[in-house]
Amino acid sequence: MRTILVIIRKEFLQIFRNRAMLPQIIMMPLIQLLILSNAATFEIRHLNMHVIDQDQSQASRQLIGKFKASNYFELSDFSFDEKHADEDIMQGKDRCILMIPKGFEHDLMKEQHTKLLLNINAIDGAAAGVINTYALSIIQNFNQQIDAQWINQQQFDQQKILNTPYSFWYNPYMNYKTFMVPGLIVMLLTMVGMFMSAQNIVREKEIGTIEQINVTPIKKAHFIIGKQVPFLIIGLVQLTIGLLVARWVFSIHILGSIPLIYLFATVYLITLLGFGLLISTMVDTQQQAMFLAWFFMVIFILMSGLFTPIEAMPQWAQNITKFNPIAYFVAVMRMVVLKGSTIKDILPQLTAISIGGLVMCSLATLRYRKRDG
Amino acid sequence: MKLTGENIIEVENLVKRFGSFTAVDNISFQVRKGEVFGFLGANGAGKTTAIKMLIGLWSPTSGKANVAGFNLFTEAEQIRKNIGYMAQRFSLYEDLTVIENIQFYGGIYGLRKNILKERAEELISELGMESFRKELIKNIPLGWKQKLALSVAMIHKPKIVFLDEPTSGVDPITRRQFWDLIYNAAEKGTTVFVTTHYMDESEYCDRVSIMVDGRIEALDTPVQLKKQFNAESMDEVFLKLARPTEVSSKQ
């Protein structure tokens, strides 16, 4: 037991003696949280739209007015021919083209149906989907208004029998930051923990001190635990900072139990640090450790459900996420912080991450050899 | 010098191969309790490989060995409790102070707090390092670092201490002081197993073995070796032993 404390003390001495370390641990995650929470959003505003109004009627102007008033679209260009509009799309000046053909109003009045053309630059498919949704809702709104005003004034509107009211739970204003911040906190303490632990043992290999430790009667498990605890404490400090920023800067109130978050974070960090130390025992240089850590980090983060929903991934990819610790923590953070989930609700995740932790720490301990070859 | 005659290290047909290369080729020898045993050889002769097997850092390919009364293959943890080791590469933490390094290594060896405190004070005053106490290791001169490393390697009062080229790169005065420390330890009953390629240092040893190409080619007291090879100095003994292989390696 005492040898564990001896190692913990030594690690902390080294961490705090390194002047670059403290800013790295506290400031970097803070800055990342403030920047990324504002940048990582699917909300799209002020989209440049090119309008080709060949009808020049009251109805077409009314439709254009709706787009203008929506805040989502910026009517940047007007013209009468598609060639000009195409050029603007090619140059990247405009994101979409709204084409109102000649006879738009006439068809609408006399035939009760008409045609519109919406061209969206869909290089970024997700963004194009969002633009499409915005545009459709504006057009539908316009439709209903026309219906009411001009056509079905006396008629009973058959189309509106089926009406689906909706409400958004847990994040009523669909605020993107509310959704992103808990997940981003996970990412920040993950990055620092993973890189620091992956570099740790291999650094002792590089400077040669590991040999001096290996000739002592220290127990392998004590060594691994002693290496893990300092980074675990640092991770929990980072979590605290992240939650405080979420509260004060983003006004996110934690609905669930705070001890539950810390409990899960502790098990999660043990898993993550075990993995980092496992990498550290397997490589010979800090450079190799960084490459390996990056490799897994990129996969873990992109497949964590942080930026894209796991449900949207193909089945094989969803299966992979079952081995992704970040995915569990992102899900749990969102559940507990935003929905107020209890320990009963997150039991499957807690079980999975506990098993992961056990496996990782055992592997790291087994892989750390005091005697080689 | 207390030579009890009892063997504290016994090695029989020890072999270490790396692939097709045999670094240590079937060596056998004994080290007596309390002696200063010189383990000599040119660079690449296999000294470091042999020492790393004896302290349990590398597994031997074959052979038998007992260190401090324990079997090298089955009782490595017991051996670790009873030996100290100072590596060829400097192995104190540069970013910790003198006292922090002492406390760390003493702590890993499981010394109790009060005993450790006592030993640390003893060690610092013996080395005359009071003024360096709170200095980071990276800021103190190499000679001091080496002397400190030796003392730290013996903080737990081991039965045997293994020193792998402890004096390489230090000036002659510091080397002299370093050997005083070694004698000090031997007088207190610690067996010293030291590798070196400074032949003058071998004169300070009770017995000396000379390794050439993974084999032990000679083993005796310096006086006997000089007689046996009809040489004036250990330097000459060494050259006579090492030369034939130098020629053959050039062919």
ipTM: 0.88
Q: Which residues of B are less than 8 Å from A17 in CB distance? A: 95-96
B2 pLDDT exceeds 50? Answer: no
* pLDDT the model gives residue B248: 46
A161 pLDDT exceeds 60? Answer: no
Contact flag B87-A213 (C-beta cutoff 8 Å): no
**Choosing among B24, B54, B57, which should be mutated to test the A contact, i.e. which has the most A CBs within 10 A?**
B57
A157 pLDDT exceeds 70? Answer: no
pLDDT band with cut points at 50, 70 and 90 for residue B161: very high
Distance from CA of A196 to the nearest CA of B (A): 17
* pLDDT the model gives residue B243: 67
A216 pLDDT exceeds 90? Answer: yes
Residue B150 near residue B174, CB atoms below 8 Å: no
Of B59, B85, B110, the CB nearest to A373: B59
pLDDT band with cut points at 50, 70 and 90 for residue B21: very high
A233 pLDDT exceeds 90? Answer: yes
B7-250 has which CATH code?
3.40.50.300
* Residues 6 or more apart in contact with residue A284 via CB below 8 angstroms: A202, A205
* pLDDT the model gives residue B3: 44
Here the tokens at position A309 are 């929903």
Domain limits, chain B: 7-250
State the span(s) of chain A assigned CATH 3.40.1710.10. 47-160
Mean pLDDT, rounded, for A263-288: 95
- Nearest C-alpha neighbor of A77 from the set A50, A101, A100: A50
**Chain B residues with a Cβ under 8 Å from any Cβ in chain A:** 18, 55-59, 76-77, 80-81, 83-85, 87, 89-96, 100, 103-105, 107-110
Contact flag B96-A212 (C-beta cutoff 8 Å): no
Q: What is the mean pLDDT of chain B?
A: 89
* pLDDT the model gives residue B247: 46
A174 pLDDT exceeds 90? Answer: no
Mean pLDDT, rounded, for B40-64: 91
End-to-end CA distance of chain A: 29
- Nearest C-alpha neighbor of A196 from the set A327, A21, A6: A21
Mean pLDDT, rounded, for B143-149: 91
pLDDT band with cut points at 50, 70 and 90 for residue B251: very low
* pLDDT the model gives residue A171: 67
A167 pLDDT exceeds 70? Answer: no
A147 pLDDT exceeds 60? Answer: yes
Contact flag A211-B57 (C-beta cutoff 8 Å): yes
Residue A272 near residue A238, CB atoms below 8 Å: no
Q: Residue B28 is inside which H or E element, if any? A: strand B21-32
A95 pLDDT exceeds 90? Answer: no
Distance from CA of B112 to the nearest CA of A (A): 9
Percent of chain B surpassing pLDDT 70 = 94
* Residues 6 or more apart in contact with residue B190 via CB below 8 angstroms: B34, B154, B157, B158, B159, B160, B161
Contact flag A217-B58 (C-beta cutoff 8 Å): no
Q: Which residues of B are less than 8 Å from A14 in CB distance? A: 93, 95-96
Percent of chain A surpassing pLDDT 90 = 46
* pLDDT the model gives residue A79: 85
Q: What is the mean pLDDT of chain A?
A: 87
B234 pLDDT exceeds 70? Answer: yes
Q: Which residues of B are less than 8 Å from A18 in CB distance? A: 95
d(CA A283, CA A274): 15
* pLDDT the model gives residue B196: 86
| Residue A260 or A37, more confident | A260
Residue written as tokens 């003696």? A17
Mean pLDDT, rounded, for B22-51: 92
Contact flag A14-B95 (C-beta cutoff 8 Å): yes
Name the amino acid, one letter, at A318: Q
Residue A60 near residue A101, CB atoms below 8 Å: no
> Buried b vs exposed e over A265-294: b needs ≥16 C-beta within 10 Å?
bebbbbbbbbbbbbbbbbbeebeebbebbe
d(CA A205, CA B46): 21
* pLDDT the model gives residue A221: 93
Mean pLDDT, rounded, for B184-196: 93
Percent of chain A surpassing pLDDT 70 = 92
A304 pLDDT exceeds 60? Answer: yes
Superfamily of domain A47-160: abc type-2 transporter like domain (3.40.1710.10)
* pLDDT the model gives residue A360: 95
pLDDT digits (tens, 9 = 90+) for A309-357: 888 889 999 999 999 999 999 999 999 998 899 999 999 999 999 999 9
d(CA A320, CA B242): 60
Of A10, A17, A207, the CB nearest to B104: A10
* pLDDT the model gives residue A164: 59
* pLDDT the model gives residue B1: 38
A154 pLDDT exceeds 60? Answer: no
